[in-house]
């Protein structure tokens, strides 16, 4: 059985402008020792999704289930959740500066975290903190443990966050844009570190990012989100080489260098939709190249394209992949679909 089983998760927020449907029915599994990548643009609901699992979306209306090792995280009391959070599920956030308290020493913050969950003496917890900082590659960990966060560089702070996340050998680590705030050479160090640690501790890892390069590097399984829904789920190679959903395809073609350096980029036209006023039918239809009449009225279900590859699109399942030949085949299918309805 999967370590984490999320079924039909919905999250919405009541605001003065109306109901914001941030997550609209997302299901996924995370296996032990595996990495799930969640990719999507700003506002696609990828962060809300995982923050809800950690009980961090206060005031939201939450539906569905999220079973972690057989227990539903969404119905736990806050006392129960506190025992799981940090100890069994750890989180690494995007901005390492605002995730560390600026007025406490880095080591103290790790010690506090350990002692909140386990009955260990302060010196023992401190020794563990030094060990962890050393493990994540902080030089002279024994003296740096008493530094304040502002004395660390961005990369070191992110490593300190990773050290804190690892402190209690969690079974699941949720990393929300762990490398976005870092420079390329430091990003390479952190990705390398996360992969090594996942293998060493056999934890499950959820990586949330908008950077398809990080996904290509790290994820075993990839979930693509658009406007609060999972539009495609596939293993890494299938997603990059044989995507089915036009949104995934559009994302891949938007990356500079994807079509050759001198080719013009093919961006997805238009803007992501407002989560208050969602388009009818498939939320992607206003931006889709292959839109059919059916897409305006019917919300596509997540269907199996082939084993382990799911896509929420009305286009025929045998049409997948990038390239102009496939595009024209898709176009024909879209036209045919239109005729059938008309």
Partner 1 sequence: MTKPDPTPSIQRRPSDDDVLLTLRGVVKHYPIKHGIIFKTEIGRVRAVDGVELTVRRGETLGLVGETGCGKSTLARCITRLFPLTAGSIVFDGQDISRLSRRELRPYRRQVQMIFQDPYGSLNPRRRIGSIIGDPFAIHGVADGAERKRRVQELMELVGLNPEHYNRFPADFSGGQRQRIGVARALALRPKLIVCDEPVSALDVSIQAQIINLLEGLQDEFNLTYVFIAHDLSVVEHVSDRVAVMYLGKIVELADRDQLYGQPRHPYTNALLLAGSIADPDRARARRRIILTGDVPSPVDPPSGCRFHPRCPKAQQLCFDTEPQLQPEPGDPVEHATACHFPVAPGEDLTVLTPGIGSAVDQPTEG
Which residue ranges make up the site for partner 1 (CB under 8 A)? Answer: 41-42, 134-139, 153-156, 183-189, 192-193, 195-197, 210-217, 236-237, 240-241, 250-258, 261, 264-269, 271-272
**Shortest Cβ distance from residue 283 to partner 1 (Å)?**
14
User: How many whole angstroms separate alpha carbon 237 and alpha carbon 178?
Assistant: 22
User: How many whole angstroms separate alpha carbon 267 and alpha carbon 256?
Assistant: 10
User: How many whole angstroms separate alpha carbon 89 and alpha carbon 56?
Assistant: 13
User: How many whole angstroms separate alpha carbon 222 and alpha carbon 124?
Assistant: 39
**Which CB atom, from 255 or from 336, has the smaller least distance to partner 1?**
255
Neighbours of 183 (CB within 10 A): 12
Q: Angle at which helices 154-166 and 106-117 pack, to 10 degrees?
A: 20
**Shortest Cβ distance from residue 323 to partner 1 (Å)?**
15
**Shortest Cβ distance from residue 269 to partner 1 (Å)?**
8
Q: Do strands 60-68 and 71-72 pair parallel, antiparallel, or not at all (unpaired)?
A: antiparallel
**Shortest Cβ distance from residue 247 to partner 1 (Å)?**
9
**Which CB atom, from 252 or from 333, has the smaller least distance to partner 1?**
252
**Which CB atom, from 10 or from 47, has the smaller least distance to partner 1?**
47
Two tokens, residue 146: 């008493």
CA distances from 124 to 110, 130, 133, 327 (A): 12, 10, 14, 61
Distance from the first to the final alpha carbon of the chain: 45
**Which CB atom, from 27 or from 195, has the smaller least distance to partner 1?**
195
Q: Report whether 70 contacts 5 (CB < 8 A).
A: no
**Which CB atom, from 10 or from 187, has the smaller least distance to partner 1?**
187
Name the strand (E) or helix (H) holding 218: helix 212-218
Two tokens, residue 223: 């979930």
User: Where does 55-98 show beta strands of DSSP type E?
Assistant: 60-68, 71-72, 89-92
In whole angstroms, what separates CA 154 from the centre of its chain?
A: 21
**Which CB atom, from 74 or from 212, has the smaller least distance to partner 1?**
212
**Shortest Cβ distance from residue 300 to partner 1 (Å)?**
20
**Which CB atom, from 7 or from 266, has the smaller least distance to partner 1?**
266
**Which CB atom, from 5 or from 258, has the smaller least distance to partner 1?**
258
| φ/ψ (deg, to 5) at 155 | -65, -40
**Shortest Cβ distance from residue 238 to partner 1 (Å)?**
10
User: How many whole angstroms separate alpha carbon 166 and alpha carbon 160?
Assistant: 10
**Shortest Cβ distance from residue 270 to partner 1 (Å)?**
9
**Which CB atom, from 13 or from 240, has the smaller least distance to partner 1?**
240
**Shortest Cβ distance from residue 40 to partner 1 (Å)?**
9
**Shortest Cβ distance from residue 296 to partner 1 (Å)?**
21
Q: Angle at which helices 154-166 and 184-201 pack, to 10 degrees?
A: 10
């Amino acid at each position: 059985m999967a370590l984490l089983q999320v079924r039909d998760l919905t999250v919405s927020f009541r605001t003065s402008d109306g109901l914001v449907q941030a997550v609209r029915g997302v299901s996924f599994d995370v296996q032990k020792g595996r990495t799930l990548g969640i990719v999507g643009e700003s506002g696609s609901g990828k962060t809300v999704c995982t923050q809800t699992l950690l009980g961090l979306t206060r005031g939201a209306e939450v539906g569905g289930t999220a079973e972690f090792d057989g227990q539903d995280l969404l119905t736990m009391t806050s006392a129960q959740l506190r025992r799981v959070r940090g100890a069994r599920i750890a989180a690494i956030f995007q901005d390492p500066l605002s995730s560390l308290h600026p007025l406490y020493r880095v080591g103290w913050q790790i010690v506090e975290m350990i002692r909140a969950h386990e009955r260990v003496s302060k010196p023992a917890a401190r020794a563990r903190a030094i060990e962890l900082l050393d493990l994540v590659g902080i030089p002279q960990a024994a003296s740096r443990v008493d530094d304040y966060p502002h004395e660390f560089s961005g990369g070191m702070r992110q490593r300190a966050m990773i050290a804190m996340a690892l402190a209690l050998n969690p079974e699941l680590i949720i990393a929300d844009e762990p490398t976005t705030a870092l420079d390329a050479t430091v990003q390479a160090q952190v990705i390398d570190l996360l992969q090594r640690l996942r293998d060493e501790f056999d934890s499950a890892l959820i990586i949330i990012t908008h950077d398809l390069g990080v996904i290509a590097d790290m994820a075993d399984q990839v979930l693509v989100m658009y406007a609060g829904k999972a539009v495609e789920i596939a293993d890494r190679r299938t997603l990059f080489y044989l995507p089915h959903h036009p949104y995934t395809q559009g994302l891949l073609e938007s990356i500079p260098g994807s079509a050759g350096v001198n080719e013009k980029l093919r961006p997805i036209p238009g803007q992501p939709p407002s989560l208050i006023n969602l388009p009818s039918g498939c939320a992607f239809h206003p931006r889709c190249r292959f839109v059919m009449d059916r897409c305006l009225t019917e919300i596509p279900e997540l269907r199996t394209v082939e084993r382990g590859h799911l896509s929420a699109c009305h286009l025929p399942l045998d049409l997948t992949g990038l390239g102009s030949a496939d595009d024209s085949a898709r176009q024909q299918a879209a036209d045919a679909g239109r005729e059938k309805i008309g």
